[in-house]
Amino acid sequence: MKLYLVPSPIGNLADITYRAVKVLEDAALILAEDTRTSGFLLKHYNINKPITPYHQHNEHKVLQHLLQQLQGGKTMALITDAGTPGVSDPGFLLVRECIRTGIPVECLPGATAFVPALVNSGIPMNRFSFEGFPPLKKGRHTLFTQLATDERTLVFYESPMRLVRTLADLITYFGPERQCCVSRELTKMFEENKRGTLQEVHDYFAEKGVKGEIVLIVEGKS
């Protein structure tokens, strides 16, 4: 009886640990954010185990059933489309309820997109704040107003469709000269790390366009 949280590659399928593969092979049931996406990973490593959807739209509905199976002695492994479960992906609710009901939980170390983006940004990483995806409307002004004076390095996830808008908003709240780095398609063939001021990086992507998964690192206030 145990729930394992298993990080999955953020792009390159080779970025998975031997231990993660072993846990997936041994699990009685694999919970996946998207069974089609995870299916490619499992097929690549010849892992043939029952797989069931677990995502933000059904996690409340299936919670009690999963807890009952765990309490009955079943070992489960939770994976998401990319990265570590619970980091801007489903996982928190199930982990919290497992802890509350005495079910062992173990998280394996592994891929998380913001770590390589932060490390290769060239921006101080001794103190940082992970902000995830910024709010689209409600709370956006409040968040950026608060963060404008934060001295820690700031870490955001963002959609390629909204990156240019978010950079423009950050220029408004933080000023155009704040240093930043946009990491795009990390670990994949067309990985790109664009560094510069908010204004420079905004103008670059406004002209070029944006594709792929995005991590945005922004320097804290001096």
* Residue 179: per-residue pLDDT: 98
* Residue 53: per-residue pLDDT: 97
Q: What percent of the chain has pLDDT over 90?
A: 99
Domains along the sequence of the chain with CATH: 2-107 (3.40.1010.10), 114-218 (3.30.950.10)
* Residue 118: per-residue pLDDT: 98
pLDDT tens, position by position, 154-167: 999 999 999 999 99
pLDDT tens, position by position, 38-52: 999 999 999 999 999
- Mean of pLDDT values over 76-105: 96
- Mean of pLDDT values over 62-90: 96
* Residue 219: per-residue pLDDT: 98
pLDDT tens, position by position, 85-99: 999 899 999 999 999
Backbone angles phi, psi at 190, to 5 degrees: -105, 35
pLDDT tens, position by position, 107-140: 999 999 999 999 999 999 999 999 999 999 999 9
pTM for this one? 0.92
* Residue 145 pLDDT level (bands cut at 50, 70, 90): very high
Specify whether the CB–CB gap between 175 and 149 falls below 8 A. no
* Residue 82: per-residue pLDDT: 94
Angle between helix 59-71 and helix 92-100 axes, rounded to 10 deg: 40
Nearest CA-CA partner of 97 in 125, 69, 135, 136: 69
pLDDT tens, position by position, 196-210: 999 999 999 999 999
Mean confidence (pLDDT) of the chain: 97
Nearest CA-CA partner of 30 in 60, 88, 69: 69
* Residue 86: per-residue pLDDT: 93
**Buried/exposed code over 73-105 (b: 16+ C-beta within 10 A; e: otherwise):** eebbbbbbbbbbbbbbbbbeebbebbeeeebeb
* Residue 104: per-residue pLDDT: 98
Nearest CA-CA partner of 3 in 50, 70, 51: 70
- Cα separation, 87 vs 219, in Å, equals 21
Torsion sign across C-alpha atoms 11, 17, 19, 25: positive
